[in-house]
Amino acid sequence: MSGLPAPTPWGWHPLSDQWAARIVADAQVRPGDLVLDVGAGEGALTTHLVAAGARVIAVELHPGRVGRLRERFAAAPVTVVRADAGSLRLPRRPFRVVASPPYAISSRLLRTLLGAHSRLFAADLVLQRAVVRRFAEGRAPGAGRWLRQWELRPGLALPRRAFRPPPQVDSSVLVVRRRR
């Protein structure tokens, strides 16, 4: 035995409750906001979004976690959707995103969210810190065309211990706001 932690299923690193609460507070979610939680996992962010008064669409691909989310939030204003970010249908009305999506889908998710017909008005996404930096500095593929319409900046830096088990990379929140 090597003493290394066992690999996480699907490479999953759930957020701790304390950090999930802080991310939702920093996002300044308002009662009645429609919020997508992409990569909802077991509902760490969803729990605090509901407490803030949001109506949540919790998107998760893993079938076991989808079932647990449906049970846990059956009486809450939460719609659980089993979907991959690549096939995600965005709401037709204004919405925001507060999520900790799988890092492997970061660029694809941002392309979807920031597309021409998206009704997104704000997003707070927990991503790999290097990716956050590239997007905020306009160095990521496609970022140039987004910067005219969107402000992308680094937000809260999360320590590795904010996740259980800790990932091998540093993470930050990418704050996305529509320019007026």
Q: Which residues are annotated as a binding site for S-adenosyl-L-methionine?
A: 13, 15, 39, 60, 84, 100
Cα 19–Cα 25–Cα 30 angle in degrees, nearest 5 = 145
83 in Cβ contact with 57 (< 8 Å): no
Name residues whose C-beta falls within 8 Å of residue 21's C-beta, 6 or more positions apart in sequence.
48
Cβ-in-10-Å burial (0-12, 13-18, 19+) of 37 comes to buried
114 in Cβ contact with 120 (< 8 Å): yes
User: Annotated binding site: which residue ranges?
Assistant: 13, 15, 39, 60, 84, 100
CA–CA gap between residue 47 and residue 34 (Å, rounded): 14
